[in-house]
Structures are given as structure tokens and as C-alpha cells.
Structure 1
């Protein structure tokens, strides 16, 4: 079993409580992503799971075993850092092999494991190079191979792609996903990049200010946000958040319809202020009365009339109470919100 249970973890740095009784269950064999803005506590939580940081309270279990008091080397984990942490004077092969030598694994077995790991990350032709002779993406694959040879129960990855450019990040996302499919073990991956989270993870944990805001599959997170923070954090661009006297509502830019007056929903008159042409999509910034709205649609490469009808389809409006928690958008709530919109046209 390589499930991970985080139970009531508390962590303070001086007078600041970074983790506030965090409890999550990371399923065996899942690709779980800890996602959230910078400073939300996700890297601190990963370091506590790895044993590199001590919690002030709480318990960490791997499988059925509590590892809270165990040293990092005894937890059967492998960690991949964003800065690679490779030995510059060693070749690729020597870097990957080093941990096995420390454990006194027989030479023939070491060679076999290293060869398999290098094949997995497609670096067999780079085995005799040193890190300085390699690209950032190649160095990160060396770090992955070094983790693979340990045969850990859980792989921990702390923003491993943040130092790479956009093209390399795309390539490495695919490499890591393929590696996960090959190994069929538990991956725990920290990122602030929601594209990484949504495209790679089978299980996503969204954190903010030391609290778990929601946990679920990418589909659940996207289609059924539990609170206004999740609605406003997930999506590219994120959902439009409109505050009103009964709380707030959220409508995703891709659900907003322009110039479809027959569609069922709340209609407003708007003026397009800017357009971002992204090739496959266009993102419109629209001014509607006192509101500024983002709308996203398929890019037609055509000039759009600046004056448009903006529609919030009833079925795609998320309602939240004054505390930011999701509520049922019943007819009464919908009517009240529609009256509010009519008042600010």
C-alpha cells in the first residue's frame, strides 16, 4: 500500500500558522496534485510528508504505518526538487547510481536498475554527460531517473517544472505523465500552475492560506466548485466573480455567450474593450454597466462589433453565500440575482 494519510497537521513559523489542522487522504496509485497560490503552505506540507520538516502537531501515515517520527531515509519516498539537486562533478549515470551505492546495492544490480531508469526517461544516450552539458529538461529527467531507481512507495515532486520555459514545461508534463503510467505508483506533485494540475492530476487538492479548500478529480473541481475561492482560482481565465447583497455568483468565461439573444439566461448590454486572439480561442474584456466581464469563445479571426449582447446561461451560474460557500441556485435565488443585474444595467 502506498496511500498517504495526512492527519490534523499543524505547522507554525514563529507567530504565523502556515498549516491549520490539514487532513487529507491521498489514494494509493493516484497522481495527486497539491495546488494553490504561492505561500498557501503546499510545499511546507510536502516537506513534512517527506520528513524534511517537522510538524508541530498531527500525524503522517504511509499505508498503515505512521512515519511521523521516522527519518526521511526510512520513509520509502523519493523527492524531486525544482532545482534538480544534481552533483555537478558526476556524470548522469553516476548521479542516478549514487543512492544505490550508498545503500551498498551490488554492482550488477545497480547497473541494471540505472539502465532501466535511464531508458524510462529516454536518457541512455546522455549517460556519460555531466549536468552542465545538458538542458534544463534533460537535467530534470536525470532527477526523475534518480528517484525511479530507489523504487519508492511514493514520489514527491516540488514544483519540478517551474525553472523551465513554456515549451520544455509542456514536454516534461508529458514525460512525467508517461512515467506515472509506467510505474503505477503514488505521485504527490506540488504546483501553483493550474494547467499542470488539471492536465496531469487524477486527484487535486486545492489549498489556500493553510487550509484545504476542496479535493476531487479535475472534473469535480471544475464543474462543481465548493466555494468562491475555487471558482475564482480554477480556469483560464478564471471564473467571473460578481458580488451582490446575498453573497456572490461565478460564471466561467467560456460559458458566457455573446450575441445569442435567444439563449435562456440573464442578458446584459455590453461593450468590448479588448480582445486577446490566442489562435484557438478569443478572450474578450467586456464592460457591462458597472461590471467588467471576461468572455471566452472559439477564435474566428473576425472583427467583432464592439456593442454586444452578453448572456449568463442559467445552468452555468454558480451561487455562493456571504461566507463564500456554495449554495443551491434555486428559482428564488436566481430571480433575486436577475433583479440585482437589472438594477445595475
Structure 2
């Protein structure tokens, strides 16, 4: 804590807000507790703080992070004997606390491509968790993948197709900012506001927010705002809140019910399977249609296993994860009976 930053905190929040001390000539400021923050900032019906934790674990050098939202007590990293085992143990710990306390909670898998720690197969195998980050604003998380690793959009479709093929629950995609940096705002810093979710809930409280997230009643965004998402037995309709002089294109993405389920491993220099998502058929995650119309409408044929929408504007994202990123929104998958 520098003296300049301390002065800024006092000016913005009051001279009595920061609690400080000097240890070996170093100025330190105590972290504000959640009750103190809630008392200062919460407004009924307008602004809500929900207690959460990033459970920071690893396996064989691979980072494995799981967010626990609306928990009551700290959950320590659970460890395990494989990437899948570590993920499953940490997710189980969240839902164990939920069951024991009766309080609504959810777990979600953080930034799978951070350190290339998590592959699609790890998410296909999971039980209990139905959330992962399709977008994370931290500069080191590799949302878009590379020549060897799929991006999170491709990973999402692989996981959706294979989970639904096995009769498992779908996976929902979250956007988050993963903010760490509050004073310098630029590419390469982890700044607030790069990604968030818009939740359709009955009331602004933790119980309703969690319930709506679990039903998939939300969309994720880095700037594109939707007026409405309408779903019936025949169509998926996206109403976009347009900005002046900004163009939008909506991709309706999915996988047919009849698709090639085979895959092959990516081999390392020793000719052994690498810790990289396997290569799957391009029948998974097809762009069924694309339109620039608003509202954007997709008519189901009955051949689709699921359909999700990705809405891409031609407006550059302000302070993006990576240079050239466009404001984008992702809806949750609609399962076709």
C-alpha cells in the first residue's frame, strides 16, 4: 500500500475507512471484512455482494481452480490423484456444504486454459458441476486457445455434445473479469468489467440469483446487451439492445443429434498422449446459421441436439483481454427434444 493509494482510499471512502499499520517501515492496510463492505455498499434492489471463494488447487503442476459462490465457510483445496479427481473433490466439497447447511450454493470451473490445466475430457467426466468460464478477462488465461489447444468456445461444444450424448446435464458458460488490478487499466492487466453475466431473477438476493443461474436463465457478455431471449418449441429468438452505429451478427451454434462421437489424442514429442483436449469431429459445434437481423431467429428442425447463440458486435471491447477483441455475448444452450 503506497501513501498515494492510501490517500485515494481515504478521499473516496472516508478517513476512518482504512485500518493501517507500519511493519518494518512498510505501510500495510487491513482488508475490509465482508460485513463491513456489505454495510457500506449494498443497496436493496440495486446492489448485492455475495460471499464466494476461489478454491486454488493443482495436480502435476497443472492449475485447477474452482469458484464456490454463496458459501458459508472456507473450503480448503481438496487435492486428488488426477486432474479429474481434484476437480471432482473440490466440487463435491461445495455441494457437501450446501447439503449440510441448506443454503443455495454453486461451483464453477475457472479458466480451463490457464496453464493448459484442464481439458475438455475433464469437464465431460464431471458430476455435479454444470458451469465453466467460456470467457475470463485475466490476460493469462488463453481464452482463444492456440494451434494445439482449442479455445473455450470449441471446448464448450465438445463438452456439451459428449455430455448430452451420455445423458448428462449440459454445461453452462459464464463470463467473468477475474479482476486483480484496480489502478492501472490496460491490456496485460486484470481489470474489472471485462466480462459478466446478466441473470433473469425474481429478486436481487443470493437465493434467487443462484436458482436462476442453475436453470440457465442468464447470458454471458463482454459488452453486448440483450433485451430478451425467447424460447419456445419452434424457435430461439434473440432481441439485441443495439448501440448507435454498431452492427451485430448472431451465430446459432450447435451439434446435431446424430454426430460422429469419435476422437483421437494429441501426441507429444515422445509419441504419447499429451494433456491436451482430444481432436473431435467438426460435426460438433457447427454454425447452423448466421444473421445480422434483430431480432435474430433460429427455427429448430428437430435434428439438433442443442442450439446456443453467440452475438458478436463490430465494436471493439473497451480495455479487452486481448487486442482486437469485439464485444460479444453468449446465451446458454437450448436442448432440443
Name the TM-score class by shorter chain.
under 0.3
Structure number with larger C-alpha Rg: 1
Bigger share in helix: 1
Q: TM-score, normalised by structure 2?
A: 0.25
Q: TM-score, normalised by structure 1?
A: 0.25
